[in-house]
Structure 1
Amino acid sequence: MKKRNYSNHHPSLTCHLWKTSTYLVSIIVRQNEITWTNETVLHSLPALTLLDMQRNPFICDCRNAWFVHWAESNNQTQVAYAYDYPCNYPDDLKNTKLLDLDTHSCSVDLGVFYFISTTSLVLLTLLGSFIYHLLRWQVVYAYYLFLAYLHDTKRRNRQAPHQYDAFISYNTHDESWVMRELLPELEGEQGWKLCLHHRDFQPGKPIIENITDAIYRSRKTICVITHRYLESEWCSREIQVASFRLFDEQKDVLILVFLEEIPDHQLSPYHRMRRLVKRRTYLSWPRVGEDTRVFWQKLQVALETRDLPAEENPILTGVERQ
């Protein structure tokens, strides 16, 4: 057996190695700057019988968890004075012993953790894609129903009086009809106070808040339905909030006015509109050359009805869809 001494020009480092002709059997590294042990190095020494690492500033964290387990369970290698190895870091573990380190939290299998994380990410991505392509409008609808519910709760708490007789929901492409026909008749001839986007929305306020405020500050909502209206995202949001108020209050607060003939099969993609049209009667703007007086009379009476349950309004007698 041969004894070697390595000082590495450092007064505090003394490393004694005892070797047989083939295998290293003992390592003594005292008063070194060793903070954690290398698993690969120790496993590469199959004939090691003695390891002395006294007075080293060990770090007591998961980096040394394997060493704690190895020192306690290895029957071949004796770790000299192992139960006296102190913890130097972290500060809250100073004056404790390395072998007292709780290693349970370090035994998580990272492979399983990565597998679960990756699988969850893939599933969430697939679920997000599914929701976006198939349920996007239902999610958007639920979101705006929630906003409407919050607004309705606040309004009930305040008991604010209605500021307008009707909010007019229309597409900008139909603004000429609203300004030329609807506004002069309802405000000019019949004396109703209407709420319009371009005139009564509060500048600088989020548009969805303006829409919700306008609907709930009006006794009724008049939706001017055309093909362009059905294709508009903002018009869709307006009728969503108005329909929520209709179903929540169970009062006749929604009036549907069709400027164009829209077959049932064209309403099919617009589930909310189709359900409303099937369950409610509506008004249709007369064709070119037909008398409009009956239309205006029905609309006037519809606006005059107050606090009636939705199903009890006898005024809107347009053809009811089945």
Structure 2
Amino acid sequence: MAELRKGSIQSINRLQTLNVTNNRLTIVPYDIRNLTFLEVLNMQNNTILTLSCEDFVNTTSLRELYLTGNRITDIKSCVIEKLPNLTVLDLSYNLIMTFGDSFEIPLHKLEILDVIQNPIKTLDVKKFQQLQSLKVLNVETQLLNNLYVCNDLQLLDHLTIYLRPRENFKTSVSNYSEIHVNSHSLKSLTLIAKDQPTDFDSVKKFLMTVKPAEKFTAINIYGDPPDGRTFKLTPELKSLTLTKTDLLIVKHKMFLPIPHLQSLDLSESEIKSLDFLMLANLSALRYLKLTDSDLSVVNETVFQYLPSLTYLDLSNNPFTCECLNAGFIQWVKSNKQTQVFNGHQYECSFPVPKRGTLLLDFDVKTCWEDGSFLYFISSTCLVVLTLLTSFVYNFLRWHLKYTFHLFQAFLYDSRKRKTMNPHQFDAFVSYNVHDEGWVYREMLPVLEGQQGWRLCLHHRDFQPGKPIIENITDAIYGSRKTICVISRSYLQSEWCSREIQMASFRLFDEQKDVLILLFLEEIPARHLSPYYRMRKLVKKRTYLSWPQAAEHPGVFWQNVQRPF
């Protein structure tokens, strides 16, 4: 219908609602000016070019006027002044380039104004200053001026701004530092970048001044993702939507300032993991949507940190049908609190042979039958063995060596008892090479020269080519006694330590007095504390001290001979 003829609806003078959408009207029908009881007029999707001052001359009762989808180029103030009771005005999708003085006429009852999809390059929000009852404002522009005027719009709840691309858009947004929207009235802020993405840094500056109380939406915004400062001034935010953006790296710090968040939509944002939610402190979150992202593996542990979650939508993600998702699959099937929207229709994208199959059809039992449990047990045992080996090497290696040598001595003693071979030597002399001079100068002349003993000395009587430890064992068990010539050098020698250990075992095994201790130096007991076995022997057995017998060497050697 290209025209509504004059008089066509004149007789319906008490008409309250008129809908003439989706026609080819080029002007406002003449009969409308006579509908004094008309409250709702819908003329969407026509080809109206202009509004005359007489079009609404008598429609003072009109409350809702929908003119979206026409070709209107301007709105005159004389048109506005005829609509004092208007509460909803939709002028979206027209050709308006400027408002001029259109809204300088106070529309005290106007609550909703939509002017998106109009080629307005610069929108001066000061033009709306008289709209004191305005609650919802939808605008689109390349540049906003005087947005501080929104502070005077005390009832403004919802502000939606469509941002068209502009070469110096970032510079224009940087001027928003003067914006001061009344934070007590504004509940919702929506920023939508059209045609091409808008820089996120600019939006951050905008958000730090325009502070929505409950809901923030940003669509088609790219750049560095929000950080911990972005929502610092909106601590009561309950709904957050960031879609069609590149949130490849989402940091949990972004959510810490908004602990009361109940709804989160991060769809179409290329997110690869949900692990950031574990530290985000979103205990009040009920609604979570991440559709059309890049999630292939979902860690089911994440949902333990979302105790209030009741709705989850992960549709259109490239899920992997492997054991990595076994926990998530079991969670989807078994949890009773959270509704997983269309979970039964999630499809596999990887591996290629399973592409197109359903995620929930994946048999998670195979994850426990493929040896994974055995691998777990084996790896655990390996770790425990490694730790035990490290502990033994650092703290018990000498005890193990000692035990090994004692065992060898035990076997040797058992063989000797069977053969019952007589002792080859009267005494085996255990000493350090640093004390060799004293042995040759003082001991040998007395014990071998005067008393006729046959002594076993390692440098003289050990069999060449035979393992040292066997030579030591043969010497100790092939002698009636073992004489240990003890000095500080002796205590620090590893081989001397082994010799006295062997002799100690023979003492313990045979229960005979086969060990004689000769101290060449005065060594306090506290200095023997690192040498636990030596200190134990000194405390239990009588020993001979050369420094104390220096004035009476004859008595000293008589005491040495006494055990024989």
Q: TM-score, normalised by structure 2?
A: 0.35
Match of 1:186 in 2: 447
Please state how far the C-alpha of 1:109 moved relative to its aligned partner: 3.9
SS in 2 for 1:255: strand
CA distance in 2, matches of 1:177, 1:219: 22
Matches within 5 A, 1:209-220: 209-220=470-481
Match of 1:143 in 2: 404
CA distance in 2, matches of 1:282, 1:151: 27
CA pair 288-239 structure 1, distance change in 2 beyond 3 A: closer
CA pair 155-288 structure 1, distance change in 2 beyond 3 A: closer
Match of 2:515 in 1: 254
In the alignment, residue 427 of structure 2 is paired with which amino acid? A
Match of 1:171 in 2: 432
Match of 2:505 among 244, 247, 251: 244
SS in 2 for 1:181: helix
Q: Deviations over 1:221-280 (max 9, x none)?
A: 000011111111000000000000000000010000111111111111111111111111
CA pair 288-222 structure 1, distance change in 2 beyond 3 A: closer
Matches within 5 A, 1:59-70: none
CA pair 246-188 structure 1, distance change in 2 beyond 3 A: same
Q: Deviations over 1:73-113 (max 9, x none)?
A: 9xxxxxxxxxxxxxxxxxxxxxxxxxxxxxxxxx8543222
* Structure 2: segments with no counterpart, 5+ residues: 1-350
Please state how far the C-alpha of 1:46 moved relative to its aligned partner: 6.0
CA distance in 2, matches of 1:288, 1:255: 16
SS in 2 for 1:165: strand
Please state how far the C-alpha of 1:118 moved relative to its aligned partner: 2.1
CA contact under 8 A between 1:170 and 1:225: conserved in structure 2?
yes
In the alignment, residue 203 of structure 1 is paired with which amino acid? P
Matches within 5 A, 1:11-30: none
CA distance in 2, matches of 1:112, 1:141: 39
SS in 1 for 2:482: strand
Between stretches 186-195 and 278-287, larger displacement belongs to 278-287
CA contact under 8 A between 1:226 and 1:260: conserved in structure 2?
yes
Match of 2:286 in 1: none
CA distance in 2, matches of 1:46, 1:283: 89
In the alignment, residue 476 of structure 2 is paired with which amino acid? I
Match of 1:296 in 2: 557
Match of 2:372 among 87, 111, 114: 111
Please state how far the C-alpha of 1:127 moved relative to its aligned partner: 1.3
SS in 2 for 1:205: coil
In the alignment, residue 501 of structure 2 is paired with which amino acid? Q
Q: Deviations over 1:177-232 (max 9, x none)?
A: 11111111100011000000000000000000000000000000000011111111
Match of 2:541 in 1: 280
Please state how far the C-alpha of 1:289 moved relative to its aligned partner: 5.4
Match of 1:229 among 490, 504, 509: 490
CA distance in 1, matches of 2:430, 2:550: 26
Match of 1:269 in 2: 530
CA contact under 8 A between 1:167 and 1:218: conserved in structure 2?
yes
Match of 2:465 in 1: 204
Matches within 5 A, 1:5-84: 43=354
Q: Give identity over the alignment, percent.
A: 66
Match of 2:390 among 113, 116, 129: 129
CA contact under 8 A between 2:521 and 2:547: conserved in structure 1?
no
CA RMSD in angstroms comes to: 2.5
CA distance in 1, matches of 2:369, 2:425: 63
CA contact under 8 A between 2:549 and 2:556: conserved in structure 1?
no
Match of 1:314 in 2: none
CA contact under 8 A between 1:286 and 1:292: conserved in structure 2?
no
Please state how far the C-alpha of 1:288 moved relative to its aligned partner: 8.4
Match of 1:162 in 2: 423
RCO greater where, 1 or 2, for CA within 8 Å and sep 6 or more? Answer: 1
Aligned positions, number: 210
CA distance in 1, matches of 2:506, 2:539: 18
In the alignment, residue 211 of structure 1 is paired with which amino acid? I
CA contact under 8 A between 2:486 and 2:517: conserved in structure 1?
yes
In the alignment, residue 280 of structure 1 is paired with which amino acid? R
CA pair 289-216 structure 1, distance change in 2 beyond 3 A: closer
SS in 2 for 1:135: helix
Please state how far the C-alpha of 1:125 moved relative to its aligned partner: 1.8
Q: TM-score, normalised by structure 1?
A: 0.61
Please state how far the C-alpha of 1:286 moved relative to its aligned partner: 3.0
Please state how far the C-alpha of 1:141 moved relative to its aligned partner: 1.0
Please state how far the C-alpha of 1:136 moved relative to its aligned partner: 2.0
In the alignment, residue 195 of structure 1 is paired with which amino acid? C
Match of 1:69 in 2: none
CA contact under 8 A between 1:286 and 1:295: conserved in structure 2?
no
